[in-house]
Structure 1
Amino acid sequence: MNVAVESMSTEAEQPTGTRPFAGFEWLLAGRYLRTRRREGFVSVIAGFSFLGILLGVATLIIVMSVMNGFRKELLEKIVGVNGHIFATPIDRPLDDYEAVAARLRQVPGIKLAIPLVEGQALASSQYANGGVLVRGISEADLKSIPFIGNNIKRGTLDGFAAAAGVAVGSRLAAALSLTAGDTITLVSPKGASTPFGTAPRIKAYPIQAVFEIGMTEFDSSFVFMPLAEAQAYFNRDGDVNVIEVFIDNPDRTQVVRDAIEADAPRPLVLSDWRQRNRTFFNALEVERNVMFIILTLIVLVAALNIVSGLIMLVKDKTEDIAIMRTMGASRGTVLRVFLITGAAIGVFGTLAGLGLGVLFANNIKSIMATLNWITGANLWDPTVRFLSDIPSVIDWREVASVVAMALVLSLLATLYPAWKAARLDPVQALRMG
């Protein structure tokens, strides 16, 4: 009988615990996060942890958005000007290009099939000179390329073929100090054959139009010439070098390519934009993955700061923990208090970083313009970085993964200090205090 009474008495004296995440647990966690003179150093560590997570998440979102923007802009402009699939002849010159192009346009998924004559030349004016890529193309086909037809800055493409003029990029025109209506001289090493060898062909053309694609490499090197004039200039006897094919969806390149090979009007060698630009886009992907790994380390370091800050807080609050335990608080209560304390740093830091990163990525051009105005320098040199403006495209799936990663790391960082606090023996803690 006495044993039963003692057992009941012991059970009555044991802490029964409270409802998980009760109000007073949040109240205690909030008090531990506030700055007090005695725990000032702990609060400083918590502040640095908060800033670390904020900056890590924001930087990850900004860098990933810029890398996505780079890939999107480069893909659109490289493919938008050069085409998706390229058909070149095998057995004989492509002198039946009109019939071949008409047959290719009938393949499902193809929106344009453009015959081209291409050749290297030296463009010069009385002020400067430079190497260019001359492309012979019909007026209708040139107007149908959106990045050219919709980006004429000076002059016009109307009457392009009849005027026997050329269309040049804006940066090339600026480098040669020329504009629409001026004359540009083209020099080709493959001219007329003479008893003394091949003489260079030199001919002057009026500039019919000046276009601006927004990609430095194209704007500084492309010259478009009427197809018939280019055939005569490059000694093409009624044939072309290549037929460029533009398709509706670049991701379906292989499907359209297989359809062309199955219904080709004549033997053709086919290549596509993935083969021609594989090294370039692979390098972009590798750089993007490496940047993600490096910047993730910022979030990891901030999470480790949460661990150190909480361990110091537990050490500082040893007496408080012992008093709570003797007053009836369970180990689970203590565990949850410190979990809330550490998780609050991670959650609020992640949310603040999310807001800052999205705000920065959405307004990156305005921010760059402001920085250029403040410093008086061009911080984004298009001649070095290919594109005229810094691009940014937010991928919300990536943003969600960054936020999830930061939250998980923050929560994991709180587990060990919270567990240590919950395992603290109140008797020994009071004795040591």
Structure 2
Amino acid sequence: MPWSLYLALKQLFPSGKRFPFFTVISMLGVTLGVWCLIVSIGVMGGFHREIRRMIVDTQGDVQIRAGAYLDNVDEVISVLEAQPDVVGVTPFAEGVVMMEHEFKPAFPALQGIDIDRVNSVVPLDSYVRSGSLEDLDDDSVILSSKLAYGIGARIGSVVEVYSPLLLEKMKDGEMMLPRELEVVGIFEIGHQSLDSSVVLVTLRRMQELYGLEEGVHGFNVKLAPDTDPDIAARGMNVALADIAPGAFARSWMDSNQDFLFVVQLEKNMIFFLLLFIIVVAAFSVTSSLLISVVRKTREIGLLSAMGGRARDVALCFCWQALIIGTSGTLVGVGLGFTVLHYRNDIIGLFTRLTGSEEALLRFYEFANLPAYLSPQDLTLIISLAITISTLAGLLPAWRAARLQPVEALRSE
């Protein structure tokens, strides 16, 4: 072991002292900075990952939409399935309707799905909490959980559906009764907006409600893992140019680029702002080591008089800054992952004490607080924390290296 490293350890953790006050305080600043960064970036990364999962699970990797609607469904499906890396294709039709149950109205988004194809793209089976997707037919409906609770519907309930086509015919003097559909399932995705405003019916029923005949509004496409969705979408646009001129394929990233940009911007801003905690902690490390240089001036002079080189004396204080930074970072990482592990328990306790549980669901739209820290983010946090802390030791090291042995030994 180099004598500069040994001396650095002895100065940070003197023999006979169980609680080296200045060392612990310096480490604590780094620990708090890393702790805050781990928790904040982990939660923001969790939101980003959860949003991606929900987008892909509900829309597929690529979505094809038309200006009006497409009526050559089988031909489009054949062309899409012939594309490389396409795993599944499912058509859909969607629109807003008025729904009523026991005089309680709602205005959800109605989505018509192809029962035979939907699970090849969208894993709806995994989100159905009550009932079964297999029970869905032209005379039934599956409600999202919050919507079902809002109108008081349950499995076996009958809901009345009023479509825009029905209302238009009523304006023309035609008498049409609303469609009565039986609730055969309730699904929950975990996103407040989707769980309170989406209704699933068969594609045939949706086509009948909107007067689409055999047409659809678009297609959801699932790709093989590790396939670039932007490249795949460009290939689909070329293939569809002749058979569906009005259709346009967009990847999930392209369709939601503005929203994803805002999420990434928030994550970067939080990282930038919380990094100042580590910068402030670095000034604390610098101050602590400068005080150590002043207090140990005679010892530094003695080391120089005994043949210690100025480089080794400076290295002693650089070692101290590195040890403080590394130790504080490791403790901060441990605390950060502990908080992330118990995040939902902590949030649950906080919301119960403040009565803000409903506000959390309303504004952040997640039933549980997601968390995900990528290896790249973790590596960046650790490397920046250790680097900044180590750089904090340069000024005290330079100050110690400049001390002349004679002047240092005369110091009182």
The alignment's TM-score, normalised by the length of structure 2, stands at 0.88
2:48 aligned to which of 57, 71, 78:
71
CA contact (8 A) 2:164 2:210 kept: no
Distance 2:308 2:65 in 1: 81
Equivalent of residue 219 in structure 2, options 243, 258, 262: 243
C-alpha offsets along residues 296-348 of structure 1, whole Å, 9 cap, x if unaligned? 11111111111111111111212222233334433234223322223221121
Q: How does 1:147-226 map to 2 (within 5 A)?
A: 147-161=123-137, 164-191=139-166, 192-193=168-169, 196=172, 202-226=178-202
Alignment check: 8 A CA contact 2:112 2:201 kept: yes
Q: Does the 8 Å contact 2:230/2:254 carry over to 1? A: no
* Most deviating of 292-301 and 78-87: 78-87
Contact 2:89 2:220 in 1 (8 A): yes
2:285 and 2:393 in contact (8 A); partners too: yes
Distance 1:201 1:44, change over 3 A: farther
Higher mean alpha-carbon deviation, 179-188 vs 142-151, is at 142-151
Distance 1:315 1:146 in 2: 67
- Per the TM alignment, residue 35 of structure 1 is displaced from its structure 2 partner at its CA by 7.4
Structure 1 residue ranges, 4+ long, deviating more than 6 angstroms after superposition: 197-201, 373-377
For residues 27-426 of structure 1, what are the structure 2 equivalents within 5 Å? 27-34=6-13, 44-89=21-66, 93-126=69-102, 128-161=104-137, 164-191=139-166, 192-193=168-169, 196=172, 202-249=178-225, 252-264=228-240, 265-272=243-250, 273-369=252-348, 378=357, 381-426=360-405
**CA, structure 1 residues 143+36, in 2 after alignment: closer, same or farther (shift >3 Å)?**
closer
Percent of aligned positions with the same letter in both sequences? 26
Change (3 A) 1:366 1:194: closer
State the SS of the aligned residue for 2:228: helix
SS of equivalent residue, structure 1 residue 390:
coil
CA, structure 1 residues 244+27, in 2 after alignment: closer, same or farther (shift >3 Å)?
closer
Counterpart AA for 2:228: R
Residues 249-269 of structure 1, C-alpha deviations (whole Å, 9 max, x = no match): 475222222322333233242
User: Contact 2:148–2:154 at 8 Å: present in 1 too?
Assistant: yes
Q: What is the one-letter code of the residue matched to 2:2?
A: F
Aligned counterparts of 1:217 and 1:250: Cα–Cα separation in 2: 29
Structure 1 vs Structure 2 CA RMSD: 2.9
- Going from structure 1 to structure 2, the CA distance change for 1:187 and 1:254 (only over 3 Å counts) comes to same
* 1:21 equivalent in alignment to 2:2: yes
Between stretches 404-413 and 79-88, larger displacement belongs to 79-88
Residue 127 of structure 1: CA displacement? 6.0
Say if 1:257 and 1:31 are closer, same or farther in 2 by CA, change over 3 A.
closer
The whole-number CA distance in structure 2 between the counterparts of 1:172 and 1:249 is 33
How far has the Cα of 1:45 moved from its partner?
A: 4.7
Q: Which moved more, 1:361-370 or 1:294-303?
A: 361-370
Structure 1 residue 61: deviation in Å?
A: 1.9
Give the 3 Å change call, closer, same or farther, for CA 151–268 of structure 1 in structure 2: same
Moved more, 342-351 or 26-35: 26-35
Structure 2 SS opposite 1:52: helix
Residue identity opposite 1:236 in structure 2: L
Aligned AA (2:8): A
**Distance across 1 between alignment mates of 2:24 and 2:198:** 54
Separation in 2, partners of 1:243, 1:333: 69
* Structure 1 residues 416 and 195: alpha-carbon distance in aligned structure 2, compared to 1, 3 A threshold: closer
The answer for unaligned runs of 5 or more in structure 2 is: none
Cα deviation code 1:133-154 (max 9, x no counterpart): 0011222234445441222111
CA distance in 2, matches of 1:424, 1:277: 60
Alpha-carbon distance between aligned partners in 2 of 1:199 and 1:304, rounded to the nearest angstrom: 79
User: Quick one: structure 1 residues 280 and 88, their matched pair in 2 at CA, closer, same or farther if it must change by over 3 Å?
Assistant: closer
Aligned-pair CA distance for 1:271: 3.5
Q: Is the 8 A contact 2:69 2:218 kept in 1?
A: no
Identify the residue that residue 16 of structure 1 maps to in structure 2: none
Q: Distance in 2 between matches of 1:251 and 1:303?
A: 43
Moved more, 116-125 or 253-262: 253-262
Structure 2 CA distance, aligned partners of 1:57 and 1:73?
24
Q: CA deviation at 1:394?
A: 2.4
Question: What amino acid is the match of 1:156?
Answer: S
State how far apart, in whole Å, the 2-side matches of 1:328 and 1:138 are: 84
- Largest Rg, 1 or 2: 1
**1:103-158 deviation line (CA, Å, top 9, x unaligned):** 32222222222222211112232263332100112222344454412221111222
SS at match of 1:381: helix
Q: Could you list the runs of 5+ residues in structure 1 that have no partner in the other structure?
A: 1-19
Count of matched residue pairs: 407
The AA in structure 2 aligned to 1:61 is: I
- Give the aligned residue type for 1:269: A
